[in-house]
Amino acid sequence: MEQLTFKTGELIIKQGDLGCNAYRITRGQVEVFLSRSKKSFVLGRLGAGEFFGEMGMIEDKPRSASVQAVEPTDVEVITPRDFNEFILKNPDKLIPYLKSFFERLRRANELSFFQLPSSEPPTESSGSSSEIDPGTVRMAAQTEELRRRIPKPEVLIHKFPYRIGRWSENVQADVFVSNDLLIRDESPYQISRNHCAIEREGDHYCVLDRGSAQGTAVNGKRIGGIENQMIAPLHSGENEVLLGGENSAYRFKVVVS
Structural domains of the chain in order of their starting residue, each with its CATH number: 3-111 (2.60.120.10), 135-256 (2.60.200.20)
Please give the single-letter amino acid code of residue 154: E
Between the alpha carbon of residue 123 and those of residues 35, 115, 130, 236, the distances in Å are: 11, 22, 10, 19
pLDDT digits (tens, 9 = 90+) for 167-207: 988 766 666 678 999 999 999 999 999 999 998 877 789 99
Q: How far apart are CA 189 and CA 197, in angstroms?
A: 18
Number of CB atoms found within 10 A of residue 219's CB:
15
Q: What is the mean pLDDT of residues 84-109?
A: 77
Q: C-alpha 73: how far from its chain's center? A: 18
**pLDDT given at position 135:** 61
Q: List all residues 6 or more positions away from 191 whose beta carbon is below 8 Å from its beta carbon.
A: 164, 165, 166, 183, 185, 212, 214, 243, 244, 250
**pLDDT given at position 133:** 45
Q: How far apart are CA 100 and CA 230, in angstroms?
A: 21
pLDDT digits (tens, 9 = 90+) for 215-240: 999 999 999 998 888 899 999 999 99
The DSSP output letter for 127 is S
The DSSP output letter for 248 is -
Strand, coil or helix: 204: strand
What DSSP assignment string belongs to 35-68? EETTEEEEEEEEETT-EE-GGGGT--S--SSEEE
Q: 246 burial class (0-12, 13-18, 19+ CB within 10 angstroms)?
A: exposed
Q: Is residue 178 within 8 Å of residue 164, measured between CB atoms?
A: no
pLDDT digits (tens, 9 = 90+) for 135-160: 689 999 999 999 999 999 999 998 88
Instruction: Give the HSE-up count for residue 174: Cα atoms under 13 Å, Cβ half-sphere.
Output: 14
Please state the φ and ψ torsions of residue 55, each to the nearest 5 degrees: -65, -20
**pLDDT given at position 123:** 38
pLDDT digits (tens, 9 = 90+) for 49-83: 888 988 888 777 889 899 999 999 999 999 988 88
Residue length, the chain? 257
Say what the pTM is: 0.67
